[in-house]
């Protein structure tokens, strides 16, 4: 096994709110290996985006981050703003969910990309412009020379997401975090964007973290999957294992709610995610879990190996095969 390029250990994120502290991420461990595509799957509010915004140092002032995030030998938790700034966009960059609002409406596309380039190198304005056009070509934008002079509103949603990707990979980062990159797009465009991400991953050797709530997207492109629920990683496994032999009841619930050929009825997971201002004791999923037992409320389950997966469920072993 290679050494991970991004290593998250016991990461905790707490927001102070008028109603009291809200623990959005409750101690997660996560490794991202070079050149690999890793998925982080979960419902909205499960803490998946917050974890990586914390790594980027992009959370609002109301957030407190504890634990450790190591990127390529740099400790990011508690790092100085200066160090964080030099890492953001150079070693670690991020693609956001909504390409409509992620680009600044008043600056030209080319200028927005070259700003990223010039932030981390002594490239001349001219060289940066030329490189920006090349990047646009790499992500598959036709007539990149003309398009670089246009404004974001002149691009379609899918094209804008390509621009955002071009910007994110401008400095060949070690890790690219794609936060729901296809959610806001048409279904037909989604596949194209995933393809672009795969292509740049191969071309630049970048490790990609794909944050999504859609297991269908994961199935197409990812190698490893982390399932998050209520601020915890509840299951981690290879893509094949997740689909063929899921171990955590929540993962099974997710799979059952996924449309599949030959299955007529989708089974949604009953109930709602817990209120993170006041999360239940023990396993957070037990309030919605059909297999919940009294013991589930006793303590927070840790990730433990089971077959080919790591799973955080004390009853997982009994449930295998059911």
Partner 1 sequence: MGKYLYEVLRFVLRRLAWAVPTLFLVTFLVYVALRIGTNPVESYKRINPRATPAKIQQYIEVNGLDPNYVRGYFRWLVNFVTLDWPRSIKGSREVWPQLKDALANTLRLGAAASTVGIFFGLMLGIYAALRPGGRRDVGVNTAAFVGISIPPYVSAILLQLVFAVYWSRWFGSTLFPTSGVYPPGHTGFNGWLMAKHMVLPVTVVAIQIIAVYARYMRSSLLDVLSSEYMRTARSKGISERRVLFKHGLRNALIPVVTIAALDVGSIVGGLIITENIFSYPGMGKYFLSSFGEGDFPLLMPWMVIIVASVLLFNLLADVSYAWLDPRIRLE
Partner 2 sequence: MLPTISPRRMAFNRFVSHKAAVVSVFILATLVLFVALSPFTARYGVNEAVQAPPNYFLSPRANAWLGTDDIGRDLYSRLIYGVRVSLIIGLFSAMISVAIGCLVGSVAGFRGGRFDDVVMRVTDLFLAFPFLVTLLVMRNMLGAITWLTPVIGELSSVRFIIVLFAIFGWMGVARIVRGQVLALKEREFIEAARAVGASRWYIVRRHLLPNSIGPIMVALTFSVVSAIIGESTLAFFGYGPQAGAGATSLGILVGQAKGAVNTGFWWLALFPCLTLVTIALTINFIGDALRDATDPRMQKDG
Q: Exposed/middle/buried for 19, CB within 10 Å: 0-12, 13-18, 19+? A: exposed
178-237: contacts with partner 1 (CB under 8 A)? none
| Cβ contacts of 196 within 8 Å, gap of 6 or more | 139, 140, 162, 165
Q: Which stretch binds partner 2 (CB under 8 A): 24-32, 60-68, 173-181, 308-316?
A: 60-68
x/- track of binding to partner 1 for residues 62-91 (CB under 8 A) = -------------------x--xxxxxxx-
Q: Please, are residues 209 and 177 in contact by the beta-carbon 8 Å criterion?
A: yes
Tokens 């969910």 found at: 97
Q: Which of 37, 54, 102, 215 binds partner 1 (CB under 8 A)?
A: 102
Residue whose CB is less far from partner 2, 270 or 277: 277
- Which of partner 2, partner 1, none binds 96 (CB below 5-8 Å, type-dependent)? partner 1
For tokens 């795969």, the residue is 198
Residues in 186-245 at the binding interface with partner 2, rule: CB under 8 A: none
Alpha-carbon gap, residue 303 to 301, rounded angstroms = 7
Contact with partner 2 (CB under 8 A): which of 62, 75, 257, 298?
62
What is the smallest separation between the CB atom of 256 and partner 2, expressed in angstroms?
24
85 interface partner picked from partner 2, partner 1, none, CB below 5 to 8 A per type: partner 1
Q: How far is CA 194 from CA 79, 142, 165, 181, in A?
A: 32, 18, 11, 8
CB within 8 A of 315, min separation 6: which ones? 291, 293, 295, 296
Site string for partner 2, 14-53 (x = CB under 8 A): ----------------------------------------
Residues 161, 96: Cα–Cα separation, whole Å: 9
How many residues are listed for the chain in this entry?
322
Q: How far apart are the C-alpha atoms of 47 and 113, rounded to whole Å? A: 29
Binding flag, residue 277, partner 2 (CB under 8 A): yes
Q: Which of 59, 48, 55 is nearest to 226 (CA)?
A: 48
272 binds, among partner 2, partner 1, none (CB under 5 to 8 A by kind): partner 2
161 binds partner 1 (CB under 8 A): no
Q: Which residue in the set 244, 272, 308, 317 belongs to the binding site for partner 2 (CB under 8 A)?
A: 272
Of positions 44, 275, 281, 298, contacts partner 2 by CB under 8 A: 275
Question: Interface with partner 1 by CB under 8 A: which range of 24-32, 67-75, 99-107, 246-254?
Answer: 99-107
Minimal distance in Å, beta carbon 227 to partner 2? 24
Please choose, out of 57-65, 70-78, 162-170, 188-196, the segment that lies near partner 2 by the rule CB under 8 A: 57-65
Which CB atom, from 141 or from 306, has the smaller least distance to partner 1?
A: 141
Q: Could you tell which of partner 1, partner 2, none binds residue 178, using a CB distance below 5 to 8 A set by kind?
A: none
Residues that bind partner 2 in the complex, under the rule CB under 8 A:
60-62, 272, 275, 277
Residues that bind partner 1 in the complex, under the rule CB under 8 A:
56, 58, 81, 84-90, 93-94, 96, 98, 101-107, 115-116, 119-120, 151, 153, 164, 167
């Amino acid at each position: 096994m290679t050494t991970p390029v991004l290593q998250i250990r016991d990461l905790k994120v707490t927001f102070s709110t008028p109603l009291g502290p809200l623990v959005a991420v409750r101690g997660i461990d996560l490794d991202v290996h070079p050149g690999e595509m890793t998925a982080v799957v979960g419902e909205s509010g499960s803490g998946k985006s917050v974890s990586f915004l914390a790594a980027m140092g992009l959370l609002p002032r109301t957030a407190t981050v504890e634990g450790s995030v190591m990127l390529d030998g740099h400790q990011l938790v508690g790092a100085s703003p200066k160090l964080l700034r030099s890492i953001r966009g150079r070693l670690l960059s991020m693609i956001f969910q909504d390409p409509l609002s992620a680009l600044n409406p008043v600056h030209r596309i080319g200028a927005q990309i070259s700003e990223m380039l010039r932030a981390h190198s002594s490239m001349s304005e001219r060289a940066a412009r030329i490189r920006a056009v090349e990047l646009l070509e790499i992500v598959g934008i036709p007539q990149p020379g003309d398009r670089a002079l246009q404004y974001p509103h002149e691009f379609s949603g899918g094209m804008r997401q390509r621009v955002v990707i071009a910007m994110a990979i401008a400095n060949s980062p070690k890790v690219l975090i794609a936060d729901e990159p296809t959610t806001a797009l048409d279904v037909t465009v989604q596949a194209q964007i995933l393809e672009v991400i795969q292509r740049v991953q191969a071309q630049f050797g970048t490790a990609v973290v794909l944050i999504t709530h859609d297991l269908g997207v994961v199935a197409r492109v990812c190698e490893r999957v982390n399932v998050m629920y209520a601020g915890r990683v509840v299951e981690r496994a290879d893509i094949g294992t997740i689909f063929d032999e899921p171990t955590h009841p929540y993962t099974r619930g997710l799979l059952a709610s996924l449309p599949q050929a030959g299955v007529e009825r989708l089974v949604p997971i009953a109930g709602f995610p817990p209120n993170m201002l006041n999360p239940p004791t023990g396993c957070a999923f037990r309030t919605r879990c059909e297999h919940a037992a009294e013991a589930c409320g006793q303590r927070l389950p840790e990730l433990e190996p089971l077959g080919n997966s790591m799973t955080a469920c004390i009853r997982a072993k009994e449930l295998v095969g059911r």
